[in-house]
Amino acid sequence: MTLPPDTSYVCVVDDQGNVFSATPSDGFGVPLIPGLGFIISGRGSQSWLDPNAPASVQPGKRPRLTTNPFILFKDGKPIMPFGTPGADVQPQAMLQFVLNVIEFGMEPQEAAEAPRLSTYSFPMTADPHPYAPNLLKAEARIGEEAFAALAARGHDIQEWPDWHPAAGSVCGIWIDHENGTLTAGADPRRVAYALGW
């Protein structure tokens, strides 16, 4: 399955220990400022005009956005930049990735390749904020037993084909400060690379 042009993700750790994590987006259907070379963000369309909505436009509030690059820290030191494109799947895919690394001891590549699922049972960020109560999508390779158990818990479970690009494309770099090594992972669900030199 090929998706249209979309958000990207990039992370870098250099030889001096600097860490960079970014989710470039906004480049579609928004104006380029002549002579300046930057764009006006179209992310305002992800906000709500209803003053009672949690993500409403009001002074002093943070807007709800789907882009969310991350740098994980331990004891005040960065240990892993990571992120993904994928709209409202982003935080869900990133949580599954970081749990796979931290809680289940996977290497970043193994964590990026692990089967993934996502809920759609909340108002989506993009206008008009649709939602599908109880909808849960999961890659086929989680297995029939998992599908049955999720359905028994009341989920409207729908199968994604394995390696589905809508499941995100999480990439990250594990920084081992003790051994002085970097271990990267690049998600095969979309075009992604892990490079080192």
* 10-31+67-186 CATH, one of 3.40.50.300, 3.60.20.40, 3.20.80.10, 1.10.3720.10: 3.60.20.40
User: Using an 8 Å Cβ cutoff, are 46 and 126 in contact?
Assistant: yes
Buried b vs exposed e over 72-107: b needs ≥16 C-beta within 10 Å?
beeeeebbbbbbbbbbbbbebbbebbbebbeeeebe
Domain positions in the chain:
10-31+67-186
Output the tens digit of pLDDT for each of the chain's 197 residues: 555 667 889 999 999 999 999 987 766 677 778 888 777 767 666 777 788 877 777 887 776 777 889 999 999 999 999 999 988 999 999 999 999 999 999 999 999 999 999 999 988 887 787 889 999 999 999 999 999 999 999 999 999 999 999 999 999 999 999 999 999 999 999 999 999 87
User: What's the one-letter identity of residue 105?
Assistant: G
Its pTM stands at: 0.86
User: Using an 8 Å Cβ cutoff, are 155 and 146 in contact?
Assistant: no
